[in-house]
Chain A
Amino acid sequence: MTLKSLVKSVLFTEIMQGLKLTFTHMFKKKITVQYPHQKLELADGYRGFIVHRRYENGQERCVGCDLCEAICPAKAIRVVGDIHPEFPERRFAKEYTLDFTRCIFCGFCVVACPVNALSMTKEYAHSSFTREGLIYSKDQLLTLGDKCESESIAYLKVRNMWGAEDSGKDEGRYHFPPISATQSGG
């Protein structure tokens, strides 16, 4: 043991350095967020609860193509597609259940969706006392989507609109216009 290291250990130099560091940290700005009283600003690409979207005229976008079910790594989505009862040239999801107890919020289903019927929102504090309470049907997803429409559009703009920025339209890679009564008639 050299003299220098002996002096160092006798005078507790290193411990003093540590104590000084912790003491200065006492007066630094705290990073704690007091969650229920104070919430963080979430980014537009935040992957919260998944919702179903509608066209401007209230038509639901989902065409029941099963792509989201196919890509879902957690097998949380179940789609039963069928022919639209009013418009025979169009399909729709007769049943659509999304099990949020299994969902891992990876966002693959939103990427897979050709008609931008799915999007993610900034909702994260949904909870339930039963398992069934977190298995959402299509109607629930649509209601949630109506509530958080601006959030879901913002998400799509950030994450899912390759090449669609220039078009200015709220559409993805494919163009599926809403079916109006005139279209189906014609």
Chain B
Amino acid sequence: MLNDLASAVIVIVAVLFVLLTTIAYLTYLERKILGFMQDRLGPMEVGPWGLLQPLADGIKLVSKEDIIPTEANVAIFKIAPIISLVPAIISFAVIPFGKDSFHFMGITTHPYITDINIGILYVLALSSIGAYGILLGGWASNNKYSLLGALRSAAQVISYELNAGMSVIGVLLLAGSLSLVRVEAAQSGGFWHWYIFPQIVAFVIYLISGIAETNRTPFDLPEAESELVAGFFTEYSGMRFSLYYLAEYGNMVMVSCIATILFLGGWNSPLPFLDFVPPFLWFMLKVYFFLFFFFWIRATLPRLRYDQLMRLGWKIMLPLSFANVIVTAIVVYMIRR
């Protein structure tokens, strides 16, 4: 009992530490990568090669004045960033980061916080809760730009969550389980077992929907600077603003983790003779590849128009993902029989 509790605490602390450090350094990484892709250097001043920039940003954001607009709905204004951040972080409870259980100070722990049998459903449900933070924050600010950004965001998140959920079903049919641990285990033994190959359509749809769901360029309409100032967090400043920021990056990491687990085999090494590399490192490598892809896309593509976004979501990707589910279901049924 005590051992279980200790192992749970160790894993939770480790996951939170890795996650929050990753999020903090993602801001640095994004600025660096964007800079390099635009022939600039990015942050260089704080620390060697600007490595302490996230720390400086954090100190600045925490010590900034907390402004609440006069006509704002104070209670909801205060609670909205929290509603946005909490689902983004607690959904990491079901992500398996490695393969084997490991020992820490004489206590055996798993490389995941919990393995529930509805893992992917849990993640999808929580990511849909995150939309409330955006919607309520935009409404409570009593600012027309915030409200427009929030409404856009809600419409976008609902539309693209459907696509993400539908594209995930193909993988779940192949793996035969909703548990992320088992989906990963089903892809072990070489990269030709990964689900990216039989589910390439679902992979592309999931990636696009993931970018859209996290409000990243080219789908960053909720915070389109040129139209809506900053979208739903126009009125936010200081710590509350940074909570939204953390939530956005947390969601990015989440989408990358899910894409890694479902399509790139999670902690499995691509070739059997590469098994000596710890599974955790493979996992991180793949996640960071997706995160890099996020920034890469941001440096490359301009923003979509709103009707283009909706057309892409409802008229192209949704029918495609339905077709993918039907084809996969038939094929799986034929093979299993």
Do A and B contact each other directly (Cβ–Cβ < 8 Å)? yes
Interface residues of chain A, those whose CB is within 8 Å of chain B, are 15, 18-19, 21-23, 25-26, 28-32, 34
Chain A residues within 8 Å of B38, by CB:
25
Q: CA separation between A66 and B209, bound complex, in Å? A: 69
Which interface residue of A15, A26, A29, A31 has the most chain B CB atoms within 10 A? A26
B13 at interface by CB-CB < 8 Å: no
Which interface residue of A18, A21, A28 has the most chain B CB atoms within 10 A? A18
Q: CA separation between A31 and B35, bound complex, in Å? A: 11
**Is the beta-carbon distance between B39 and A31 smaller than 8 angstroms?**
yes
**Is the beta-carbon distance between A30 and B40 smaller than 8 angstroms?**
yes
**Is the beta-carbon distance between B40 and A25 smaller than 8 angstroms?**
no
**Is the beta-carbon distance between B33 and A26 smaller than 8 angstroms?**
yes
**Is the beta-carbon distance between B40 and A22 smaller than 8 angstroms?**
no
**Is the beta-carbon distance between B33 and A15 smaller than 8 angstroms?**
no
**Is the beta-carbon distance between B296 and A28 smaller than 8 angstroms?**
no
Instruction: Tell me how far the C-beta of A93 lies from the nearest C-beta in chain B, rounded to whole angstroms.
Output: 44
Total B residues in contact with A, Cβ cutoff 8 Å: 14
Chain A residues within 8 Å of B301, by CB:
15, 18
Task: Say whether chain A's binding surface is mostly helix, strand, loop, or mixed.
Answer: helix
Q: CA separation between A8 and B299, bound complex, in Å? A: 21
Q: CA separation between A23 and B296, bound complex, in Å? A: 8
- Can you name 11 A-B pairs with beta carbons within 8 Å? A18-B301, A22-B296, A22-B300, A25-B38, A25-B39, A26-B36, A29-B39, A30-B40, A30-B41, A31-B40, A32-B39
Chain B residues within 8 Å of A32, by CB:
35, 39-41, 44
B37 at interface by CB-CB < 8 Å: yes
Instruction: Tell me how far the C-beta of B255 lies from the nearest C-beta in chain A, rounded to whole angstroms.
Output: 18
**Is the beta-carbon distance between A19 and B33 smaller than 8 angstroms?**
no
**Other A-B pairs beyond A23-B37, A25-B36, 16, CB < 8 Å:** A18-B300, A18-B301, A19-B297, A22-B296, A22-B299, A25-B37, A26-B37, A28-B39, A29-B39, A30-B36, A30-B39, A30-B41, A31-B39, A32-B39, A32-B44, A34-B44
Specify which of A15, A28, A30, A31 is in contact with B300 (CB 8 Å cutoff): A15
**Is the beta-carbon distance between B41 and A19 smaller than 8 angstroms?**
no
Chain B residues within 8 Å of A29, by CB:
39
**Is the beta-carbon distance between A19 and B39 smaller than 8 angstroms?**
no
Q: CA separation between A150 and B40, bound complex, in Å? A: 34
Q: CA separation between A30 and B40, bound complex, in Å? A: 5
